[in-house]
Structure 1
Amino acid sequence: MTPAHGFPGFVRRPKPIKPKAGQESVWDYPRPPRVEPRSERIIVRLGGQVIADTTDAVRVLETSHPPVYYLPLDAFPAGVLVPVEGTSFCEFKGEAHYFDVVAGGVLVPRGGWTYPEPARGFEALSTRVALYPGPMDSCEVDGERVTFQEGNFYGGWITTKIVGPFKGGPGTAGW
């Protein structure tokens, strides 16, 4: 982290990319985050198999982060989501619980998470799971293959409709 303005540890907010027509800037997203229902078709593949195909997703929008899509738990075939030990805590959403994601002979350890008892305002997440898009064969939003948010903690889905810069990569921890 490079100090700015003479204050150690002070991190300057990056310059947002100006969105073009039909695009969104993650710098216009709120903090605390917002949950928003979506009707795009979401398809996720792992191990050569479609493990989710739904038009009933929600996405969580938070300043500097690409959207995280949460899909209905019942959109996944039995055995794809395997609960595992361990939790993490989000100051806004509450306690996250994790799943290994398994399909076609492929295992993605802790590749998905849910908030079974989310904080107020995030109730829509209680019956949904988010997936890290990076280790999946592919994740699509209305036919567009997403790229993933840098870093090994956040699970944002990046499409051509989303502009940054995005938190998650080296040097972005203080944003």
Structure 2
Amino acid sequence: MRPVPDPLGPGQESVWDYPRPPRVEQVDLRVTIELGGERVVDTRDVVRVLETSHPPVYYLPISAFADGTLSPAEGASFCEFKGAARYLDVHGGGRIAERAAWNYPDPSTGFEALRDRVAVYAGPMDACTIDGEQVTPQPGSFYGGWITSWVVGPFKGGPGSMGW
């Protein structure tokens, strides 16, 4: 059963207005990620994926990550819309966040904009920001959306949300 969307405030968007299948869009936002006290990425070349019930997932160019901060990790997954994903470890300041990032080396039709881009789980990082605002990780351990003050839910990923 679909939950009741949270009320919108000025300048906010509801994840319940996002489409399914998801939409990919280029956005003019600055994204930074820090791990182990080291900035591993700082870019304005940002694409986000919007999907019903999920906070946006931000994809950043592989080339924007500092040298040596990404390495292949075990495992893979498949998205019915985006295709086959591979996982990556994120390295920073002497720390390794295992399987904390993923990308689609050969994305499905309609998602070509994700090629050569990486999304990162916010939870294992020291800090992830969008235009200076610290993000909150999407609930649960599988989804990688980033919650900000301009996005309202409720969000998929928490207890009882698997049927949404």
User: Secondary structure at the residue paired with 1:167?
Assistant: coil
1:165 to 145, 154, 159: 154
CA distance in 2, matches of 1:49, 1:38: 25
CA distance in 2, matches of 1:17, 1:103: 36
Which runs of 5 or more residues in structure 1 are unaligned? 1-11
Counterpart residue number, 1:141: 130
Can you list the C-alpha shifts for 1:37-88, whole angstroms capped at 9, x where unaligned?
A: 0111101100101100000010000000000000000001111000123210
Which structure has the greater CA radius of gyration? 1
CA distance in 2, matches of 1:60, 1:98: 18
- The amino acid of 2:118's aligned partner reads V
2:113 to 108, 124, 128: 124
Matched, 1:71 2:60: yes
Corresponding pairs, count? 164
Matched, 1:106 2:95: yes
User: Secondary structure at the residue paired with 1:150?
Assistant: coil
- The amino acid of 2:130's aligned partner reads V
Which runs of 5 or more residues in structure 2 are unaligned? none
Q: What TM-score does the superposition give when structure 1 sets the normalisation length?
A: 0.92
Runs of 4+ in 1 over 3 A off after TM superposition: none
User: Secondary structure at the residue paired with 1:96?
Assistant: strand
For the aligned residue pairs, the C-alpha RMSD in angstroms reads: 0.6
User: Which segment is superposed worse, 163-172 or 76-85?
Assistant: 76-85
